[in-house]
Structure 1
Amino acid sequence: MSDHDARALLVEALDFFNDHPRFSLRRDRRRDSYALASRIDAFLARDKPVLPVVAAARDRWETANVLRIDPNEQAVERDDDGYWVRAWVRMSPASIGDNGAGLAERYARALAALPEITREVLLAHQRGEQDFRTIAARFGITTREVEQHIADALLAIGQALDRA
């Protein structure tokens, strides 16, 4: 099916959902067509011209991993200080106390996967038992190596947690 035909099919489906707003979905009768119609509408909205203020917001926040501009590009409000563009802010589950079993398990696996000296240096630092000089002396390494082990550990654990 060509892109043109697929878009035509989506337009037809969207028209149907708009004509039958409470149409229940076959596999899950508790769900209705509103969410699906909204997704189709957002997909088709990509063809609509982007407002200049939305384009500027997208350019500015494109690389931010904590903010995503809302796909509804027509929702812009102006006040005395500028424009408001709808966006979503990413909050980590931990920031609201929602660590979940999966996160704890991934952290434990990532910690266990670290080289032994890197893991021990990180744990000594995290427990607050020792400063860098004391940790360095305990393991027979320099304070710079202590810093490097901690950085390596944090990077590896961060990447493991992000892979979920």
Structure 2
Amino acid sequence: MDDGTDAEYLAYVNGRVTALRRFAFLLCGDGHQTDDLLQETFTKLYARWPRICRVENVDAYVHTMIVRSFLDEKRRGWWRVGLFDSAPDRPTPEPAGFEEQTVVRAALSQVPPRQQAVLVLRFLCDKPVDEVAQILGCSPGTVKSQTSHGLNKLRRILGDRIPATNGEGGWR
């Protein structure tokens, strides 16, 4: 791109990378997978930037790209290519005080990927049903039913360990 759009792309990515990283982490719960999702998304975004920069809501478009990359990754399953000869070093332990987040993250990882995406978008990113439907490319009714099924699955998984919410869609 030599028509000045490189600067626009860099300005967008640099301005939104923190929020997009948080969003991707909420979806997958793993720092390395988050980085992979963002790298894949930013690469595709760069290739399509001349068209995408004219879209009315670029953030919604990029959120859709991240969710689709996340769902595609979940569909790949067991046959993913391993890049290591041996297991990588163990991650450093989480700082104290993250017990509820750890419980929720573990429970979310057991929910089917599409329901997981709906729950993250609806409750952790506080997106309205219509915007989630647009991001996932489905109807608002599908979002509502996936939300219901996902919440029921979380309730079954968590049982008595359900953390309290702060009333704004996030956990305290």
TM-score with structure 2 setting the length: 0.33
Considering only CA atoms, is the larger Rg found in Structure 1 or Structure 2? Answer: 1
**Greater helix share, structure number:** 2
**Greater strand share, structure number:** 1
